[in-house]
Amino acid sequence: MSLLHSRIVGKGSPLIILHGFLGMGDNWKTLANKFAEAGFQVHLVDQRNHGRSFHDPGFSYALMAQDLLVYMDRHGIESASFIGHSMGGKTVMEFATRNPQRVSKMIVADIAPKAYPQHHQAILNGLTNLWETQLTERSQADDLLSEYVAEPGVRQFLLKNLYWVDKGVLGLRMNLPALKQNIEEVGKPLADDARFEGPTLFLKGAKSDYILPVDEIMIKRHFPAAIIDEVAAAGHWLHAENPREFYQNVIDFL
């Protein structure tokens, strides 16, 4: 089976970080260095069809959890702590409920175990435009994407997927066709009977609506030991919008 790509920083207790949809491990470099300074060996993992990891037509949380198990076995990691943001949080939940003995502690960033409606269509349309265009400059890609995505911060996040395929030719790292084909998988809920009883922290952005008060009942049903906390002055990208408070919450829990 193919092995996920990762960047490994530091030495100590393993801490595996999983990015969100259309992201990559490199999005977490700054925080990874801080966790490494605190005594963790941080694994910034690119999930399948993202970043530098392998492309595959299959895409689901069951497959991504299996990828994680293969990754840990290949790296000789018996158990680890995990941070998962958004889609990465769903992967971590899936993994923990299937392999509880491999999870020391789990932090889920701004996502609940519930179903979410598909809400990435404008972004996918913009990325499709980039995919089908011969790109020669990053500014050209930004101009094209701005027709679909108004927020400069979101465009900057998405354009981190650009890389030089050849001299003077830019491409996108993610496997866009597979992600578009399987987009409904991203919003799927955790199975009703899935359960993990180990130490769990759910962190939500104070300005985000991804985790609502009503969701706390479901969270506690799947994760009875869960602590649910909030990061101030932050939306869905809480680790980027308020990294200091996010880091402190996580390090206190770990």
pLDDT tens, the chain, 254 aa long? 799 999 999 999 999 999 999 999 999 999 999 999 999 999 999 999 999 999 999 999 999 999 999 999 999 999 999 999 999 999 999 999 999 999 999 999 999 999 999 888 999 999 999 999 999 999 999 999 999 999 898 899 999 999 999 988 999 999 999 999 999 999 999 999 999 999 999 999 999 999 999 999 999 999 999 999 999 999 999 999 999 999 999 999 99
| Active-site option among 50, 86, 208, 239 | 86
Residue 208: active-site member: no
Task: Calculate the dihedral angle through the C-alpha atoms of 106, 110, 115, 120, rounding to the nearest 10 degrees.
Answer: -130
Residue 15, phi then psi, degrees to nearest 5: -130, 115
Q: Say how far apart CA 31 and CA 231 lie, in whole Å.
A: 15
Ramachandran area for residue 80 (φ above 0: left; ψ -120 to 50: alpha; else beta): beta
pLDDT of residue 118: 86
User: Looking at residue 213, what is its pLDDT?
Assistant: 96
Q: Are the C-beta atoms of residues 197 and 100 closer than 8 Å to each other?
A: yes
Q: What pLDDT, on the 0 to 100 scale, is given for residue 147?
A: 94
**Overall pTM > 0.85:** yes
Concerning whether 86 is annotated as a catalytic residue, the answer is yes
CA angle 241, 226, 13 (to 5 degrees): 70
Q: pLDDT at position 153, please?
A: 87
Residue 64: predicted pLDDT: 98
pLDDT score recorded for residue 253 = 98
Q: CA 108 to CA 216: how far, in whole Å? A: 13
| Residue from 19, 43, 222, 236 carrying the catalytic annotation | 236
178 is written with which tokens?
Answer: 């597979």
